[in-house]
Amino acid sequence: MRFASRLSRFGRFGRHALMALLGAAFMPAALAWSDKPVKLLVPAPAGGTIDVIARMLADQLVADTGQAMVVDNKPGAGGAIAVQALRAAPADGQTVLVTASNVLTEIPHVLKGGFDPLKDVKAIGIIARANMVMIAAPNAPAKDLKSFVAYTKKNPGTVNFASYSAGTISHYAGMIMNQKAGLDMVHVPFAGSPPGLAQVMGGQIPVMFDGIATSRNLIATGKVQAWAVASAKRLSVLPDVPTMTELGYPELNFSNWLGVVVSPNMPAEMQEKIHKAVRNVALNPKFRGRMFAAGFEAAEDWNIQQLNDSVRTDFERNGAIVKQFNIKLQ
């Protein structure tokens, strides 16, 4: 009664503000799933698309839960190194994997013996979506995609394209482009976006299919050109850049979700706790502002079952693409 009496002195708006503050004070305890530091494994090098979103996620989780978050980059083997580290760790919530869906749905089709994405891991939280853009060197031998296709046909066997990893959509896109446009571009894979982008900026490789998040600032500053986005519609962050569909290549329509993956052996109650915390981040206005500014798009508000259904659907779709276009590691 005494507390209620004192609270009434603040007035209606004051009471609402005070209750909001009290709610915020208890939020970390409600969203935390551990009282120990949590390791966020990242299957990519620092500076890449997955690393960017992982560090944003870590920052917001620290604010929301009060838990310490440690980002641990483990690139290589198409994500298999990070996945194996996840599988080797206890399924107690102290180690999770922050990844892009392509690590689960694309790479296993061309990099055999790594892991089974439908059995060895389980997706439990979705944060954002990342789209792809075809970028070109500032000194590329063409001004746009149409003239680049013409140039490549006139100079067979001399044109390369970069990808941020073999077996990903960055690789798929170039191979599909080869087949649909009648080209013979040679694939040059890199261990993540940064080294590939360096080659494109320097003019050693004329084109690359890269994620918006890692290319956007380079496009804005004129260090690379943006020729087309591999999405169904134009993107708000690059409104003047046409889609591949507009340019006659509807097959080049790719989007990855980014989220949190754990061991399937993790107790269901722990999975739900982490899902709740990750969902809270994805819906947080401050986080969404940072996410949009970095070039990511909002993701679906999926539960755990819906997310894993999407993994299976995309895995089967990409398997068909690999077979149709005879995509192989080089």
Q: Torsion over CA of 120, 94, 129 and 183, rounded to 10 degrees?
A: -50
Residues 165, 92 share a domain: no
Q: Dihedrals φ, ψ of 24, to 5°?
A: -65, -35
Detail the DSSP E strand segments found in the chain: 38-42, 69-73, 95-100, 122-136, 160-163, 186-189, 207-211, 225-229, 255-262
Contacts of 323 (CB under 8 A, 6+ apart): none
Winning range, highest mean pLDDT, from 8-17, 70-79, 163-172: 70-79
Question: Cα separations (Å) of 51 from 22, 192, 282?
Answer: 33, 10, 16
Residues 91, 67 share a domain: yes
Nearest alpha-carbon partner for 100 in 62, 128, 133, 58: 128
Q: How confident is the model at residue 329 (pLDDT cuts 50, 70, 90)?
A: low
Q: Is residue 250 part of a domain?
A: no
pLDDT at 119 exceeding the cut of 80? yes
Report the alpha-carbon distance of residue 118 to residue 115 in Å, rounded: 9
Residues 318, 285 share a domain: yes
**Count: domains in the chain:** 2
Residues 202, 125 share a domain: no
The residue among 227 and 170 whose pLDDT is bigger is 227
User: Which tokens hold the place of 249?
Assistant: 């290549």
pLDDT at 304 exceeding the cut of 80? yes
Place of tokens 């990409």: 318
pLDDT at position 9, please? 45
**Any alpha helices (H) in 48-192, and if so which ranges?**
49-65, 80-88, 101-105, 107-110, 145-154, 169-181
Q: Is residue 290 part of a domain?
A: yes
Q: Which residues of 31-66 are buried (b: 16+ CB within 10 A; e: fewer)?
A: bbbeeeebbbbbbbbeebbbbbbbbbbbbbbeebbe
pLDDT at 26 exceeding the cut of 60? no
Q: How confident is the model at residue 10 (pLDDT cuts 50, 70, 90)?
A: very low
Among 166, 194, 229, residue at a domain's last position: 229
Query: Residues in the chain, how many?
Result: 330
Among 176, 195, 229, residue at a domain's last position: 229
Here the CATH number for the domain that contains residue 100 is: 3.40.190.150
Residues 141, 213 share a domain: yes
pLDDT, tens digit, for every residue of 132-157? 999 999 999 999 999 999 999 999 99
pLDDT at 84 exceeding the cut of 60? yes
Q: Is residue 27 part of a domain?
A: no
Report the alpha-carbon distance of residue 50 to residue 46 in Å, rounded: 9
Among 229, 263, 292, residue at a domain's last position: 229
Report the alpha-carbon distance of residue 131 to residue 2 in Å, rounded: 56
Here the CATH number for the domain that contains residue 194 is: 3.40.190.10
pLDDT at position 159, please? 97
Q: Is residue 121 part of a domain?
A: yes
Residues 153, 224 share a domain: yes
Residues 137, 49 share a domain: no
Residues 121, 66 share a domain: yes
Contact in structure between 190 and 45 (CB atoms under 8 Å): no
User: Which tokens hold the place of 64?
Assistant: 């929301």
Q: How confident is the model at residue 113 (pLDDT cuts 50, 70, 90)?
A: low
User: Which tokens hold the place of 51?
Assistant: 């690393």
Q: How confident is the model at residue 19 (pLDDT cuts 50, 70, 90)?
A: very low
pLDDT at 301 exceeding the cut of 60? yes
pLDDT, tens digit, for every residue of 163-203? 988 878 898 899 999 999 999 999 999 988 899 999 999 99
pLDDT at position 29, please? 60
The residue among 329 and 97 whose pLDDT is bigger is 97
Q: How confident is the model at residue 17 (pLDDT cuts 50, 70, 90)?
A: very low
Q: How confident is the model at residue 25 (pLDDT cuts 50, 70, 90)?
A: very low
Contacts of 77 (CB under 8 A, 6+ apart): 111, 114
Residues 120, 266 share a domain: yes
Residues 80, 151 share a domain: no
Report the alpha-carbon distance of residue 263 to residue 18 in Å, rounded: 40
pLDDT at position 148, please? 97
Residue 30 gets the label, from left (phi > 0), alpha (psi -120 to 50) or beta, of alpha
Secondary structure of residue 39 in the 3-state scheme: strand
Residues 70, 50 share a domain: yes
Residues 123, 140 share a domain: no
Contact in structure between 194 and 224 (CB atoms under 8 Å): no
**Domain range holding 158?**
132-229
Give the distance, in angstroms, between the CA of residue 208 and the centroid of all CA atoms in the same chain: 17
Q: How confident is the model at residue 31 (pLDDT cuts 50, 70, 90)?
A: confident
pLDDT, tens digit, for every residue of 241-289? 999 999 999 989 888 899 999 999 999 999 999 999 999 999 999 999 9
Q: Is residue 303 part of a domain?
A: yes
Q: Is residue 117 part of a domain?
A: yes
Q: Is residue 201 part of a domain?
A: yes
